[in-house]
Amino acid sequence: MTDHDKLQKWLMARRDELNTRLGKIKKDASRKNSADWSEQAQERENDEVIDALGNEAVIELGKINRALDRMNEGDYGVCLSCGKDIPVQRLEVMPYADLCVQCAEARGL
Ligand SMILES: [Zn+2]
């Protein structure tokens, strides 16, 4: 198995995990309307937490889908900025990285 196969497997597993989590968040959000008045302030706070978690998952999902697209197109692991190969060690830590360390640092990421 090549490094990219391994990373692709990881990305797909992570994508499934995030989709499951988002599905749960949506289900929780649709259940909230039954509460009486005294519970609604607390519920609003929970909604904000759910929104934050949901947004994070959506953003990560976007990165994962982009990485999987680039794998299909055969340009995965190439820095979008300078065109050099991103070291495997970096991809193992952050499989959806699309910039090499130097370019990411230059952009303050
Ligand atoms: Zn670069």
Dist. CA 100 → ligand 1 center (Å)? 4
Contacts of 93 (CB under 8 A, 6+ apart): none
Dist. CA 76 → ligand 1 center (Å)? 13
Dist. CA 104 → ligand 1 center (Å)? 7
* CATH, residue 87: 1.20.120.910
Which range marks the domain in which residue 60 is found? 3-106
13-30: pLDDT as tens digits: 999 999 999 998 888 777
Dist. CA 13 → ligand 1 center (Å)? 27
Dist. CA 2 → ligand 1 center (Å)? 22
**Does position 60 have pLDDT exceeding 70, yes or no?**
yes
pLDDT of residue 1: 56
Banded model confidence at residue 40, pLDDT cuts 50, 70, 90:
low
Dist. CA 98 → ligand 1 center (Å)? 9
Pick the closest to residue 8 from 83, 96, 103, 79 (CA basis): 96
pLDDT of residue 27: 84
Dist. CA 83 → ligand 1 center (Å)? 6
- Global pTM? 0.76
68-104: pLDDT as tens digits: 999 999 999 999 999 999 999 999 999 999 999 999 9
Domain count, the chain: 1
